[in-house]
Amino acid sequence: MFKHFPSTLKYSNNNLSLGSFGAKSIEFVRITAKQLEASRRAINRNIKRRGKVWLNAFPHIPVTSKPTEVRMGKGKGNIAFWSCSIKPGTILFELEGVAMELAKQSLILGSDKLACSTKFILDYSTISEK
């Protein structure tokens, strides 16, 4: 496994709380802020901003890097990008207010922008009420 990832599953954020449809990660991965934003834009563009989209992952880990051909020492490098660690079972996106076929198509399109594989999940209690 990876060095900084625990070998446990995510149990606290593994149920839909805000929307009826969601994208759940099924592997350990580090996702950058650019990947999350590209995925969110792709989802919003595909649903034509009809429904509501919630992003449940927040990039809170700064990743630093030093420029190329720089000697060792002299402190830490500048912040290159922000990222977040994702465990299997984490809900990344939630959708509400669109049809199930459109939600599934949008979440698959958005998960293509991410570095991890996801699966489409839905909340049966809210679907049966409609």
pTM confidence score? 0.82
Other beta carbons within 10 Å of 108? 16
In a domain, 13, yes or no: no
Give the lowest-confidence range in 13-17, 40-44, 105-109, 119-123.
13-17
> Is 31 part of a structural domain of the chain?
yes
Mean pLDDT of 37-61: 93
Residue 43 resides in a domain: yes
In a domain, 1, yes or no: no
Q: pLDDT by residue (tens digit) across 56-80?
A: 999 999 999 998 888 888 889 999 9
Position 62 in a domain: yes
Say if residue 35's pLDDT is above 70. Answer: yes
In a domain, 15, yes or no: no
Task: Supply the range of the domain harboring residue 49.
Answer: 21-67+76-129
Domain count for the chain: 1
**CATH number of the domain encompassing residue 38:** 3.90.1170.10
107 in any annotated domain = yes
| Alpha-carbon span 96 to 104, nearest angstrom | 12
pLDDT at 124: 76
Q: Is residue 16, in this structure, part of any structural domain at all?
A: no
pLDDT in tens, 82-125: 999 998 888 999 999 999 999 999 999 999 999 899 999 988 77
pLDDT score, position 73: 86
